[in-house]
Structure 1
Amino acid sequence: MAERIGMRKVATALMTGLLTWLRGLPLPPWLRRRLSVIYRGAWFRPVRRLSQWPQVRETPPVKQLQLLADTQYPDYIIWGVIDWSFRHQRPQQLAQVLSASGRRVFYVSSTLKASNQPGFSIYPLNERGNLFEVQLHLSDPPSIYSTVPSSIQVAQLRYGLGELLLCTRPRAVVGIVHHPFWLDVAKAAPNSRMVYDCIDHHQGFSNTDAGILKLEQQLVLEAQATVFTSDRLAQQWGQTPSAQRTVIRNAADFGFFSRRPVSLFNDPQGRKIIGYYGAIAEWFDTELVSAIADAFAHHLVLLVGEDTTNARHKLRHHPNVQFTGEVSYSTLPSYLYAMDVCLLPFQVIPLTLATNPVKVYEYLSAGKPVVAIDLPETHQFGALIRRAQNPAEFIDGIAHALAEPPDEHRAARQAFAAAQSWEQRRDALLSVTEPQHVPREISVIVVTYNNLALTQACLASLTANAQAAALEIIVVDNGSSDGTPAFLDQWAKANGQVVILNADNRGFAAANNQGLAVATGDYFVLLNNDTQVTPGWADTLRRHLDRNPGIGLVGPVTNNIGNQAKIDLTYSLADMPDRACGYTYRHLGEWFVLPTLAFFCVMLRRSTYAQVGPLDEAFGCGFFEDDDYCRRVEQAGFFNACARDVFIHHHLSASFNLMDIDQRQALFDRNKAIYEKKWGTWIPHRYG
């Protein structure tokens, strides 16, 4: 281990020195881009991987993670656009305030860990033990900014996510996606709500691949909600349908930036300081800064941040311009409080027109005068900042700011910033990620006929699920004589659900049709009463339908059925949910075509049902009505599928087992004849 740490330090020092030297050279943009491609290529891969080995940090024991899962809140997985320690921005701020509210948060690093073994590494980030950084493993990790993951890479990353979920066992998951690269991984999380936090105009970055832009379009379509950091971003996606859309701007860590540090940056010449901190990148207006340096030759123009656009070389002839390079977030106030005027010298381009500048909130937290280029998102600050449309106005704004008394507007600026906190933004976000009133979009129809104990266990599993509030449960009883009607009447009143009591046994198809006729959801589930569901089952089945328009019917895997949906899983009913997770979390997002689904549990869209129609009641008490419906779904142009990431326990044929064996065989033969008259020779179900 010591040798590995030493190698990592040497590699890191070499790569840091090399990159610093290259960035300081006066290279033309085309050559700089070429060198960047070479650095990301195969020649530098071994050294780059060494330099990217994470610091040796203690991984929390699995038991600790599982204990923390006992919470009233869902877990948050933040699919990062940057590494946690790279630059402290909106994703990290949201992660911190969410964890401060008692929620458990896993921040997925944008840098994948090179490993031939898929999985994850996890590192604690706070003393409370509910904020973690996660690195997913990948055999040949790409850059998330310029590469669309292949299907093999998605499978490996999903495996790592599944292993994380096996350790953490969340009650439910909210995935906040900050970059489209993660889409096909993030959406595989079971019992989850996926929210796209759209923080940038990705088309404006020169290194964004066209495939990433296409993924972003898909992400906006598939996310249950989309959050935009600016009105301009929301307008750009105005023609794209989304379940929920809202603008939640950036904010300031007011407590951090409003405290004057003991030690400040010092200019040895004692000049007034005109300053900027942040990325000095392709959107930075170097020509404007050059004009400022000329106009204020006796002042220091201080630029704090990494220079990736060759600004240092372009401004080399200005002796009053000083670059610091990248500095840590913790030291920013020491530079900020040394500045007499703070700048936002951006070019007016599509990228910046859609930007809500977080640094302005931070400048105002310190009460500093601010001069900014006139961008749409700067108008919210009103007279608290000076806006300029050209270099002359910008220079005039700086002159007025330098002339104002130091404390003239400090209180007003800080009062505004104090009201724009990340805690306030978190509360706005929670209304999106954890809505109080969830519509009952999924209607579950359960047909009962005696077997009271099985019915009680089935309904208990439905209402115990965290998703129960989003389910409309309709129970149709076919004339049970074992106390089931009385129990159902009491159960329906206690749970606010629907019960239909038939005087006699109308059969499986007819009873299901009764339930379907009164269902109000956009998705229908036919569920046998001899089943027990697992956490997140309905939501995960629905996601398969949402993301695969060609699927007409989808069902789960199970322990007991006569076709390929059966898996080999040994458990007691007490540990069934735990054992089921052990299987489904290792098959996230997976499904396969299964022409004939058994109707112990199937889900379909309301629109599919409207096209195909009700079950055929000619099949009476049962047998072949499910085969028949599968053929009708195929006839309508769909296919049927089985989801490997949903498991439901099934006792199998509980109602049929109450029938006399000869009566049962006669019913089977009769219904087989009906089926074959419609569809030809019946192909028996098979296992495996």
Structure 2
Amino acid sequence: MHTSLVKEQDIRQPILWFYTPMSLPIAADVEPSLVVYDCMDELSAFRGAPPMLRERERELFARADLVFTGGQSIYEAKRAHHRSVHAFPSSVDAAHFALAREATTDPADQRDIQRPRLGFFGVIDERLDVELVARVADERPDFQLVMLGPVVKIDPATLPQRQNIHWLGQKSYQDLPAYLGGWDVAIMPFALNEATRFISPTKTLEYLAAGKPVVSTAIRDVVTPYGDKEAVHIADASSFVAAVEAALAQPTEARLAIADAMVSATSWDKTWRSMSKLMADALQAKRSAAVRTEGNVPCSTI
């Protein structure tokens, strides 16, 4: 949002919603009715993060009325920095990903890949444990690893190349259920490093909504609650293949019952209703405080 746009469109006291502290200068001259900092991750831990990001975040904490976090871990990391921090773990478009359960036709670039298929979709960057991907492929040459997503911040030449690893590139959101429908296990082979310390992967619920068994490394916001409730198999590098084998052998009916219970407990609509209430309450509190302040202005004695 540029100040010129605000003036041209006669926008008065907008709600400012920040996804990154680096956007602060853009709205420096805007007078908002409310400021929300939607903190989805610890961006300062990402490769190539701007050096001034932490300082900008301190400025944003000082300006924000509300802070929303994308998961429990990042909530615990941020709650000491602001008076009103609220955890909102990612939800899921359940109906969209449930289409995978009925998918009967493979996308063209997946059609000729043999089974069993282990699938992943997401950004392929420093958060992905590429050595683990290679290890799984080497330990089980019969497993076919289908990897979807753009390669960002890492050299594509460093990705392990095997006959049973298929780097298929970025796919549209609309096409994901069709790919998921042809997988036998959905995997989250994340590295355990600074960039993944606070992540709460949206794909966890998307995989479960698709009805797929899921295997993940020990990302904290996956272990609790998904691992604790046996919705996701948790493994390290040495046990990942065994966890995939266990996922493949798990009775479908029992697995789907657990997955459906977790998926049905959340929705983006529910998340937005909760956020909206917090915002309405914060706006009302600010208006009430302004009225009290105006009422306390001393009258002129002249």
Matched, 1:219 2:66: no
Q: Is this contact kept in 2: 1:223–1:243, CA < 8 A?
A: no
Output one character per residue of 1:575-621: Cα deviation in whole Å (capped at 9) or x when no partner. xxxxxxxxxxxxxxxxxxxxxxxxxxxxxxxxxxxxxxx68x7xx43
Change (3 A) 1:297 1:432: same
| Residues in 2 aligned to 1:198 and 1:256: alpha-carbon distance in whole angstroms | 25
Q: Secondary structure at the match of 2:284?
A: coil
Output one character per residue of 1:431-473: Cα deviation in whole Å (capped at 9) or x when no partner. 222118833x6xxxxxxxxxxxxxxxxxxxxxxxxx5x5543x
Q: Of the candidates 97, 106, 119, which is equivalent to residue 264 of structure 1?
A: 106
Q: Of the candidates 230, 236, 240, which is equivalent to residue 383 of structure 1?
A: 230
| Residues in 2 aligned to 1:162 and 1:331: alpha-carbon distance in whole angstroms | 40
| Residues in 2 aligned to 1:339 and 1:180: alpha-carbon distance in whole angstroms | 38
Change (3 A) 1:209 1:268: same
| Residues in 2 aligned to 1:436 and 1:291: alpha-carbon distance in whole angstroms | 50
Output one character per residue of 1:282-321: Cα deviation in whole Å (capped at 9) or x when no partner. 11100111111112211210000112323564312x1100
Post-superposition offset of 1:201? 0.6
Output one character per residue of 1:479-509: Cα deviation in whole Å (capped at 9) or x when no partner. xxxxxxxxxxxxxxxxxxxxxxxxxxxxxxx
| Residues in 2 aligned to 1:187 and 1:418: alpha-carbon distance in whole angstroms | 41
Change (3 A) 1:217 1:256: same
- The equivalent residue for 2:132 is 288
Q: Secondary structure at the match of 1:371?
A: strand
Please list, as runs of the form range in 1=range in 2, the aligned pairs for 1:54-73 lying within 5 A after superposition: none
Output one character per residue of 1:390-433: Cα deviation in whole Å (capped at 9) or x when no partner. 21222211111122244441232123113221111111211222
- The equivalent residue for 2:21 is 180
The residue type equivalent to 1:251 in the other structure is S
Q: Is this contact kept in 1: 2:125–2:151, CA < 8 A?
A: yes
- The two structures have a TM-score, normalised by structure 1, of 0.40
Change (3 A) 1:232 1:183: same
Please list, as runs of the form range in 1=range in 2, the aligned pairs for 1:274-423 lying within 5 A after superposition: 274-308=118-152, 309-310=154-155, 313-316=158-161, 318-378=162-222, 379-381=224-226, 382-388=229-235, 390-423=236-269
Post-superposition offset of 1:269? 4.8
- The equivalent residue for 1:209 is 50
> Which consecutive residues of structure 1, in runs of 5 or more, have no partner in the other structure?
1-135, 137-156, 442-466, 473-520, 528-613, 622-688
| Residues in 2 aligned to 1:418 and 1:231: alpha-carbon distance in whole angstroms | 19
Post-superposition offset of 1:215? 0.6
Post-superposition offset of 1:237? 2.5
Change (3 A) 1:358 1:412: same
Q: Is this contact kept in 1: 2:16–2:32, CA < 8 A?
A: no
Q: Secondary structure at the match of 1:237?
A: helix
CA RMSD, aligned part only?
2.4
Q: Secondary structure at the match of 2:34?
A: strand
| Residues in 1 aligned to 2:137 and 2:111: alpha-carbon distance in whole angstroms | 16
The residue type equivalent to 2:121 in the other structure is Y
Q: Secondary structure at the match of 2:126?
A: coil
Output one character per residue of 1:176-216: Cα deviation in whole Å (capped at 9) or x when no partner. 21011222333644352010000011121122111222111
Post-superposition offset of 1:351? 2.2
| Residues in 2 aligned to 1:408 and 1:198: alpha-carbon distance in whole angstroms | 35
| Residues in 2 aligned to 1:191 and 1:273: alpha-carbon distance in whole angstroms | 50
| Residues in 2 aligned to 1:386 and 1:376: alpha-carbon distance in whole angstroms | 13
- The two structures have a TM-score, normalised by structure 2, of 0.88
Change (3 A) 1:298 1:273: same
The residue type equivalent to 2:116 in the other structure is K
| Residues in 1 aligned to 2:295 and 2:136: alpha-carbon distance in whole angstroms | 66
Matched, 1:231 2:72: yes
Q: Is this contact kept in 1: 2:148–2:171, CA < 8 A?
A: yes
Ranked by relative contact order (alpha carbons within 8 Å, sequence separation 6 or more), the top structure is 2
Matched, 1:244 2:84: yes
| Residues in 2 aligned to 1:408 and 1:267: alpha-carbon distance in whole angstroms | 29
> Which consecutive residues of structure 2, in runs of 5 or more, have no partner in the other structure?
none
Q: How many pairs were matched up?
A: 294
Matched, 1:162 2:7: yes
- Which one has the largest radius of gyration? 1
Q: Is this contact kept in 1: 2:126–2:195, CA < 8 A?
A: no
Please list, as runs of the form range in 1=range in 2, the aligned pairs for 1:583-598 lying within 5 A after superposition: none
Q: Secondary structure at the match of 1:397?
A: helix
The residue type equivalent to 2:50 in the other structure is D
Change (3 A) 1:188 1:425: farther
Sequence identity percentage: 22
Output one character per residue of 1:41-79: Cα deviation in whole Å (capped at 9) or x when no partner. xxxxxxxxxxxxxxxxxxxxxxxxxxxxxxxxxxxxxxx
| Residues in 2 aligned to 1:300 and 1:362: alpha-carbon distance in whole angstroms | 21
Q: Secondary structure at the match of 1:336?
A: helix
Q: Secondary structure at the match of 2:200?
A: coil
